[in-house]
Chain A
Amino acid sequence: MSDLRELYLEMVTDHAKNPRHRGKAEPCSCIGTGNNPLCGDKLVITINKKGDSIVNVKFDGEGCAISIASADLMAEVLAGKSVNDAKNLFEGFHQLVTGEGNPEVPKKLAVFSGVREFPMRVKCATLAWHTIIAALDGSTEVTTE
C-alpha cells in the first residue's frame, strides 16, 4: 500500500497551509479558470507575462492540499521561465505524477512524485498546470473531468 507520507510530504502540506502565491498577478496578461467538478475545486490563475517570458504567476480559489500546493509550487517554479519552458515542465510534471516516466524535474516539483501511487489524485495535482497551459494558449476555462 502506498504510503501517505509520500503523498503529503512536509513541503506539500506547508505550501497547502501557507501558500506564497495566492492572489492576482499585476499587471495581468492572461487569466485561466480550472474546474474539477467532481471535487468542487476551482482555481483562477493569473499570469503577468512580458513577451514570451512569464514574470510571475498567482492563483486563487479553493482546492485540496494537493491542488493548492501544486498551484503554489507551480507559480514558484514558473517565475522567469518562457512559455516553452512552462510546457516542457508540465510535460515532465505530468509524467512524474502519472508514473509514465522518470523525468528530470525541479526539486519543488519532485515532491509530487508520491501522487503516482494515488491515481485518483492526479487530476488534483495537474489542475493548476492544465489551467495555466490553456491560459497561455489563449483558452480561459478548463476542466479536469
Chain B
Amino acid sequence: MRQISQIADAFPALHQSVGENPLVYLDSAATTQKPECVIDAVNHYYKSDNANIHRGVHQLSMRATKDYEGARGKIASLLGAASSDNIIFVRGATEAINLIAQSYGRPRLSDGDEILITEMEHHSNIVPWQLLCEQTGASLKVAKIHDDGSLNIDSFKELLGENTAIASFTHVSNAIGTVNPAQELCLLAKNAGAVTVIDGAQATGHMKVDVQEIGCDFYATSGHKMFGPTGIGCLYGTHQLLSDMEPYQGGGDMILSVSFEETTWNKVPFKFEAGTPNIAGAIGLGAAVDFINELGYDSIYTLEHELLVYGTKVLKNIEGVRLVGTASEKCAIISFTVDGVHPHDVGTICDHEGVAIRTGNHCAEPLIHRLGLNATCRASFSIYNSTTDIDKLATAIQKAITILG
C-alpha cells in the first residue's frame, strides 16, 4: 500500500494554500477530492473520444460506448452486483432515491401503505418519500435513534409491519458517521414483506459494500463522494424489480420503438437512462473505481479508522468540545460542538487556518434537532488525510475558543 503522503500526492487540489496556510481538507463527506487518474479519464474522453453513445457506427462513438459501459461493469463489480444490468447511471444518490420513489413507489403505493425511514436520514432520503406520500396517500414512519446516534433497532422492528411497503435507510450517516447494520435491517424488512432501499452515498468511498450479501433491493450512491466527478452516481436494483418498474423519464435511448400510437421501452438498465447521459462522469467514476481497487477497501478502512480513533481522542481532550454521535460503529466522520462558540464561527476560524470543515445541519435537520441542536461542526476524513491534519484542526478550534469562547 502507498504511504499517506504518496496517496495525497495523487490529488492535485490538495496541494494549495488557503491564505497563508496549506489547505487541510476535512470535508470529504460533502465531496471527496479527485485523484489525477479521474481527472485524466474525464479529460481523455473529451480530448480524444468525445461522441454520443449507443448510436454511432463511427470509431469515436464506439470508444465512448465501450468506456461508458465499461464503467458500468466496474461499478457493478465493486458493489457485488450480479450483472452490470443491475446498475443504472443517475446524477447521484438523490436522483437514485427519487427514481425509486417515482418509478417503483408511485404506481404501487396507495392509502394505508407505509414507508419506513430513520431519524438519521439525509434530506435526500426524506423528501422524495414525502413527495411520494403526497402523491399516493401513503404515510411516512420514522424509526428512532439512541442518544449516541445509533439506530434503535427495536423502534425499527416495531414500526415494520404488513403495511410497510418500503424500508429506506442510510448505510452511513453523513452528519454523525453512524454505520447501520444494513444486512440485519434488510433481513428484518424483508421478513415484513417490505422492499429495501439503502442510501449508500457515505459508504462506497470508505468501505466494502456487497449488495447481494447485504440483501437489499435497491442501493443508491454518488460518484463524487468516492473520488469520482460530480453529477454521476448509480442506482443498483434487483433485476426483477427494475424489469417490472416503469421508466423514470422519457426520451431518447430509453425506447425500443416509438410511434405516435405506441412506444415500447428499451431493456434494463437503458430503460431508465433517457437522453444523453453524463458520459464523461461515468468514465470518470470508472477511473475512481479503479483507484479504489488499487488501494483496496481494507487499506482505506484501516487508514480512516485510525484517523477516526485519533481524531476522537484529540477532540475529546479539548475543553468545551462535545462530540455529537458516538455510536460504536462509525465511519471517519466526527461531528462536534464547541461550548459558547457557534459552529459557523468555528468554521470561519478554521478556514482562516486553512482547515476546511462543514458547519450547519448537514442536510439532516431532523437528526440535528433530535440531538437537541441547531447545527454542528463536522470534520470528515478520507485516505489523503493524516493525524497532522487533525492536530491542525485542534489548533484552529483552540483559536476559536480564544476568540469567542
Interface residue ranges, A against B (CB under 8 Å)? 1-2, 4, 7-8, 13, 16-17, 37-42, 62-66, 68, 118, 120-121, 124
Contact B404 A1 (CB under 8 A): no
A7 to B348, CA, bound (A): 10
B352 pairs with A1, CB closer than 8 A: yes
How many angstroms between the C-alpha atoms of A37 and B340 in the bound complex?
21
Query: Is there a chain A Cβ closer than 8 Å to B342's Cβ?
Result: yes
Bound CA span A39–B404, Å: 18
Taken together as a complex, chains A and B put the C-alpha atoms of A24 and B68 apart, in Å, by: 61
A16, B403: Cβ atoms closer than 8 Å: no
Return B187 CB to nearest CB of chain A, in Å.
Answer: 36
A residues within 8 A CB of B368?
Answer: 40
Task: Given the known inter-chain contacts A4-B352, A40-B361, please indicate yes or no for A13 contacting B374, CB distance below 8 A.
Answer: no
B residues contacting A by CB (< 8 A) are 18-20, 340-345, 348-349, 352, 359-361, 365, 368, 373-375, 403-404
Interface core residue of A13, A40, A65 (most chain B CB under 10 Å) = A40
Task: Select which of A13, A38, A42, A63 is within 8 A of B404 by beta carbon.
Answer: A13
Set of chain A residues within 8 Å of B18, measured between Cβ atoms: 1
Chain B residues near A13: list those with CB within 8 A: 403-404
A8 touches B404 (CB 8 A): yes
Complex interface: chain B residues within 8 A of A40 (CB): 360-361, 365, 368, 373-375
Q: Please, which residues of chain B bring their CB within 8 A of the CB of A121?
A: 344, 348
Question: From residue B283, how far is it (CB to closest CB) to chain A in Å?
Answer: 32
Distance (whole angstroms) from the CB of A41 to the closest CB of chain B? 7
- Which residues of chain B are near A1, meaning CB under 8 Å? 18-20, 352
Contact indicator B404/A41 (Cβ below 8 Å): no
With contact pairs A65-B404, A118-B348 given, residues A42 and B374 touching in the complex (Cβ less than 8 Å)? yes
Q: In whole angstroms, what is the CA distance A40 to B403 when docked? A: 22
CA distance A63 to B375 in the complex (A): 9
B403 and A63 form a contact (CB under 8 A): no
Our pick among A38, A62, A66 for the contact of B345 (Cβ within 8 Å) is: A66
15 more A-B contacts (CB under 8 A) besides A1-B19, A8-B404, A118-B348? A1-B20, A4-B349, A16-B404, A17-B404, A37-B361, A37-B365, A39-B375, A40-B368, A63-B342, A63-B344, A64-B344, A65-B341, A65-B342, A121-B344, A121-B348
CA distance A52 to B110 in the complex (A): 54
Chain A residues with CB below 8 A from B374, complex form: 39-42, 62
Query: How far, in whole Å, are A65 and B18 apart by their CA atoms in the complex?
Result: 23
